[in-house]
Structure 1
């Protein structure tokens, strides 16, 4: 297969939602339909101690939530599909934001009963800003929930999307009989009482035919015809170009737990979703069809296999081909590096791969050379933008609880911070370490992972701070010196050695900016 054909057959997308909307279950079922797994992980069934395929960290199995983005790849109808399953919990939003830099499109999962939730709004806003094509999947139709049209209105209003349904439910909750697939003009029904088996789909080019009554009953047939007429009158026709430009969002209905509507979603997705897209670097736009390799690290994961203490850098290939044992330029370190065992992923299962193409996610064994945002090229000096660190909202001093394990603690902290789990600041005044996180749950994850992966224990002390601001050095030298002298107690360095100012309130930030106008304060690290 030629290089261009390989690019055309790739689809790389992320799945995002509020916690508990069924995102991980949907990921499992996509793998199931893709033939990548033989049996779903029985996410809801505690009798089977399996956990979902994509939740492979021990703490995720215990808490029942995803705390790290996992990468899964499979082939479906000769298309190579790369799924990035992201954490839904708001405390891990930063991992999700970074993952959105590595995807070409997104599926947003919405719970039929809860509708659009706050976390979904934030994530969709990021997708809209970046013009990422979005498909909406309304999940859990076998439960009592909101009316289909009310949900579509809510998605349009709260998320600011322009939707067009490509499938429509026949009944809801207890009356849920199946789905009319507008994309393929088919009806899919449950074929047994306990609503776990799905029919193959009966083709229906004319929904006015009497055959419809025979299949779903008179009342349901009448309701479906009325609803489809409304859909036709109210919503725009599907236009692939508008979808790819981020101006139109197709909607599918289904129940991932019961395998319902998932195959329809997958079949349509591989037809309409974008192939690997160009990406902006700090020097120029990189086209995926260029023959020279470019790629960037969007995630680092230590101890995927605790027995081996391995650490993997996840790289999204933007252009060219990534070949095993070939030397590439690590732009930040200005060094040539080569990799003897690059991996592709299937959750925690890894396979060594000889060649990867644009759109693929490759895992590289890392001894501490990589940081999030690092770029690999064939010699060109460029960096990809848009992978910032956000200003944390929770701050705690970190103390060593076992003096004999100081080395393990600092190594563990160092590696976890490289992963982007949280941010570490070292106070200028006394060298004390402060961990800043976007959400409080991350402190538990850090403590748990330090103990179980590095054999180190830590305790925390609260530090009542409002925000951290990255300080852009002032051209007015005297004013900058004065700022550093007066604010000495609140100054620290981040992991990259950049100066930061820990502010205890929004008022303090305002006052500081008024007093030292030439000193600029930023809420993300990527201000240059």
Structure 2
């Protein structure tokens, strides 16, 4: 009896503490209380899987925070930079809160008007572009956020290309109408000219900058005002008199743009039949799903205006998982893989199939994010990894709300969920029955462009260093780690300096292993200037079976748009080179391409045309032809004219007008070529192409020359021949590292 009383008192005390403690957010309890509401499985028509993507600092995370607040998922809103020591819900990593940027994509799910919306908030920085690739691969629709001041920026174009690659329909949301210099009309013009979108406003702003009061819904012909402390009270009113003529013009423009791509509305428009609200909405939905029209909404997430109509538009215009065609591949021997259309219907008895699109090390082991495309999965079921054929038992199924997990008993087609303790790689397919023979197309992974040497400060931290590297390389396919035998140093490669710097900081914070990053190394490439023939005989006789192989052909450069590729073509006729030895020649060529002989960089932009050769009935083997191909490349190195290629970056710089002269001088010093400029309201945007090798340290130089006002972003554009002085320097460094005495005559020949 006394024991029961003690337990009762303890429970009361703990509950009182939980209710009164200011350190524990209220929404923790709210989420627990309302969990049944979120755990309920909806019919497929009431599900939306969306991503929020944009250029860095366009307001993606702030918008996601508002969406979670208005849908009742969180009880209080917080700012991105964590001024209140809390930070945005989706920026769960300490580094994200300190820097005010998103580093990892974060998933959540919420309810709006009885629809379940799965949301992935993605980073905007180009260094974390693989996070956007992963998200768009598994999503059905997206919100493209554009800054009303910055407009269509470099990363906006990258995100647009990624949406096109995965055929993802999108809505555009012009954010930050409250900022000085906001101009949504300019942004719409840029969408049409730079992105080639057939886009039109479905909303107009009522006032800009400090006078931003609300938005006009062009379809319903109503004005919406967002009142209350947090903009959660929507007042619907008549359109202001001074905006009625503009509203009608824009509505007419909207109908014209949609009727150009939608047959039903087009016929009504040509026949001059009356067009209702439902007609316009239906036409927008049909054309949006086909990616032939992009509806443009406006608002300001920070000032809590325009978010609820955006959520309504997500339900009205973006597809549910049942309206998207997803295909799996079935391998067939000796032919192209067969495409199999997946059935997302939740009532079908087709087998479960899902894609692992992201890995993360959690408290309880590896957390694997998945998207289910067909069938259903229950807790306790066993599934197979289609690549490794390993069987995995599902002990726990969770759905994610940022860094919080909520257990569920089953998942269905269209759901985004996570599993624990599954050993797999990013892009693996999981099926319920390994006899299905199906696999989903993996994720496009861009090649890393920056390399740096890395070493732990203390040798005693080697174990933690190894654990950190193993985890990060598994989680992030753009983060590469290898040991350079020639230079005797460990190298990490990534998408940019910030990318590698973030991982160095994470090693110190999460693994207590401070590291030192060396000078960045750029991924140069070597290629031929003009075609060069080869005729190489590999002959070795030292008792017993010897080696004999002869290869004849041409090594030629590929055109500039293919200068990152390697091609091998078998043009042999007859039996001089038996077909079973051709793979050996190809392997020899690709092995030599790993490290060129000019400055130790990879070979690229080459086509190896094998035209003829010779073999010996006894002494020829695949190994002999492998070595003959390597000898042929060495022969071409001696006889051909070679050059070094370097990565060229598309750079976008924004700064006040008074610094334009200084910035152009800086770029000229860095061998940049200006490709265009734009100016507006005392600010200019300069577009240029600059070699990546010249861009290191530019961030600090730009800040010091523009009093901290300038900003820039860059992304990979192409490979192009480097300047002769850069090439000579690379050759000298390589020869010095290899202990080779430079041969001036040979160097002249190579140039």
Fold match (TM-score > 0.5)? yes
Cα distance change, pair 138–382 in 1 and its aligned pair in 2 (3 A):
same
* Cα deviations by residue, 1:434-475 (Å, 9 ceiling, x for unpaired): 322112211111111112222223323333323697989997
Matched, 1:294 2:353: yes
Q: Which residue of 2 aligns with 1:370?
A: 424
Provide the rounded CA distance (Å) in 2 between the counterparts of 1:467 and 1:296. 34
Q: Quick one: which of 438, 454, 462 aligns to 1:398?
A: 454
Q: Which residue of 2 aligns with 1:455?
A: 512
- Is the 2:218–2:247 contact (alpha carbons within 8 Å) kept by the matching residues of 1? no
- Is the 1:328–1:378 contact (alpha carbons within 8 Å) kept by the matching residues of 2? yes
Provide the rounded CA distance (Å) in 2 between the counterparts of 1:230 and 1:473. 52
Q: Which residue of 1 aligns with 2:52?
A: 15
Find the residue that maps to 1:95 and give its secondary structure.
helix
Cα distance change, pair 144–196 in 1 and its aligned pair in 2 (3 A):
farther
* Cα deviations by residue, 1:87-133 (Å, 9 ceiling, x for unpaired): 00111111111211010001000011111111011111221233211
Cα distance change, pair 220–190 in 1 and its aligned pair in 2 (3 A):
farther
- Is the 2:144–2:172 contact (alpha carbons within 8 Å) kept by the matching residues of 1? yes
Q: Quick one: which of 248, 263, 270 aligns to 2:293?
A: 248
Q: Quick one: which of 415, 423, 426 aligns to 2:479?
A: 423
Find the residue that maps to 2:131 and give its secondary structure.
helix
Q: Which residue of 2 aligns with 1:356?
A: 411
Alignment of 1:52-451 (within 5 A): 52-191=88-227, 197=231, 199-202=233-236, 212=239, 216=240, 218-221=241-244, 223-225=246-248, 227-228=250-251, 231=254, 236=259, 238-276=283-321, 277-283=324-330, 284-289=340-345, 290=348, 291-303=350-362, 308=363, 310-366=365-421, 369-379=423-433, 380-420=436-476, 422-426=478-482, 429=485, 433-451=490-508
Q: Which residue of 2 aligns with 1:496?
A: none
Provide the rounded CA distance (Å) in 2 between the counterparts of 1:484 and 1:234. 50
Q: Which residue of 2 aligns with 1:497?
A: none
Provide the rounded CA distance (Å) in 2 between the counterparts of 1:516 and 1:443. 41
* Cα deviations by residue, 1:24-79 (Å, 9 ceiling, x for unpaired): 11111111111101111233662x11111000011101110000000011122211
Find the residue that maps to 1:383 and give its secondary structure.
strand
Matched, 1:509 2:609: no
* Cα deviations by residue, 1:217-246 (Å, 9 ceiling, x for unpaired): x43455545554555566655432111111
Find the residue that maps to 1:274 and give its secondary structure.
coil
Find the residue that maps to 2:51 and give its secondary structure.
strand
In terms of mean alpha carbon deviation, does 449-458 or 369-378 score higher? 449-458
Provide the rounded CA distance (Å) in 2 between the counterparts of 1:79 and 1:177. 28
Cα distance change, pair 488–25 in 1 and its aligned pair in 2 (3 A):
closer
In the TM superposition, what is the alpha-carbon distance from 1:339 to its structure 2 partner?
2.0
Provide the rounded CA distance (Å) in 2 between the counterparts of 1:15 and 1:123. 10
Provide the rounded CA distance (Å) in 2 between the counterparts of 1:503 and 1:292. 50
Find the residue that maps to 1:239 and give its secondary structure.
helix
List runs of 5+ in structure 2 lacking aligned partners. Answer: 1-36, 260-279, 331-339, 527-563, 570-580, 612-628, 631-646, 648-751
In the TM superposition, what is the alpha-carbon distance from 1:433 to its structure 2 partner?
4.0
Provide the rounded CA distance (Å) in 2 between the counterparts of 1:473 and 1:322. 44
Cα distance change, pair 188–398 in 1 and its aligned pair in 2 (3 A):
same
In terms of mean alpha carbon deviation, does 329-338 or 108-117 score higher? 329-338
- Is the 1:417–1:424 contact (alpha carbons within 8 Å) kept by the matching residues of 2? yes
Provide the rounded CA distance (Å) in 2 between the counterparts of 1:338 and 1:473. 43
Alignment of 1:44-59 (within 5 A): 46=83, 48-59=84-95
In the TM superposition, what is the alpha-carbon distance from 1:485 to its structure 2 partner?
6.8
Provide the rounded CA distance (Å) in 1 between the counterparts of 2:406 and 2:41. 24
- Is the 2:62–2:301 contact (alpha carbons within 8 Å) kept by the matching residues of 1? yes
Cα distance change, pair 490–70 in 1 and its aligned pair in 2 (3 A):
farther
In the TM superposition, what is the alpha-carbon distance from 1:516 to its structure 2 partner?
8.2
Provide the rounded CA distance (Å) in 2 between the counterparts of 1:143 and 1:336. 54
TM-score, structure 1 length as denominator? Answer: 0.83
In the TM superposition, what is the alpha-carbon distance from 1:197 to its structure 2 partner?
3.9
Find the residue that maps to 2:504 and give its secondary structure.
helix
Cα distance change, pair 223–487 in 1 and its aligned pair in 2 (3 A):
closer
- Is the 2:381–2:393 contact (alpha carbons within 8 Å) kept by the matching residues of 1? yes
Cα distance change, pair 129–221 in 1 and its aligned pair in 2 (3 A):
same
Provide the rounded CA distance (Å) in 1 between the counterparts of 2:444 and 2:258. 37
Q: Which residue of 2 aligns with 1:208?
A: none
In the TM superposition, what is the alpha-carbon distance from 1:253 to its structure 2 partner?
0.7
Looking at CA atoms only, which structure, 1 or 2, has the larger radius of gyration? 2
Provide the rounded CA distance (Å) in 1 between the counterparts of 2:218 and 2:590. 63
* Cα deviations by residue, 1:357-393 (Å, 9 ceiling, x for unpaired): 22221111136x1110111111123221141322111
Cα distance change, pair 275–235 in 1 and its aligned pair in 2 (3 A):
closer
Find the residue that maps to 1:99 and give its secondary structure.
helix
Provide the rounded CA distance (Å) in 2 between the counterparts of 1:190 and 1:275. 28
- Is the 1:17–1:109 contact (alpha carbons within 8 Å) kept by the matching residues of 2? yes
In terms of mean alpha carbon deviation, does 179-188 or 447-456 score higher? 179-188
- Is the 1:95–1:421 contact (alpha carbons within 8 Å) kept by the matching residues of 2? no
Provide the rounded CA distance (Å) in 2 between the counterparts of 1:268 and 1:183. 12
Count the aligned residue pairs.
Answer: 487
Q: Which residue of 2 aligns with 1:476?
A: 582
In the TM superposition, what is the alpha-carbon distance from 1:278 to its structure 2 partner?
3.4
How large is the Cα RMSD of the aligned pairs? 3.2
Find the residue that maps to 1:116 and give its secondary structure.
coil
In terms of mean alpha carbon deviation, does 311-320 or 105-114 score higher? 311-320
List runs of 5+ in structure 1 lacking aligned partners. Answer: 205-211, 492-501, 524-528
* Cα deviations by residue, 1:476-522 (Å, 9 ceiling, x for unpaired): 3554465467556569xxxxxxxxxx9848xx523x54588999xxx
In the TM superposition, what is the alpha-carbon distance from 1:408 to its structure 2 partner?
1.7
In terms of mean alpha carbon deviation, does 79-88 or 373-382 score higher? 373-382
* Cα deviations by residue, 1:286-345 (Å, 9 ceiling, x for unpaired): 222253211011111124xxxx36431101111111211111112222122112222111
Find the residue that maps to 2:104 and give its secondary structure.
coil
- Is the 1:394–1:438 contact (alpha carbons within 8 Å) kept by the matching residues of 2? yes
In the TM superposition, what is the alpha-carbon distance from 1:180 to its structure 2 partner?
0.8
In the TM superposition, what is the alpha-carbon distance from 1:143 to its structure 2 partner?
2.3
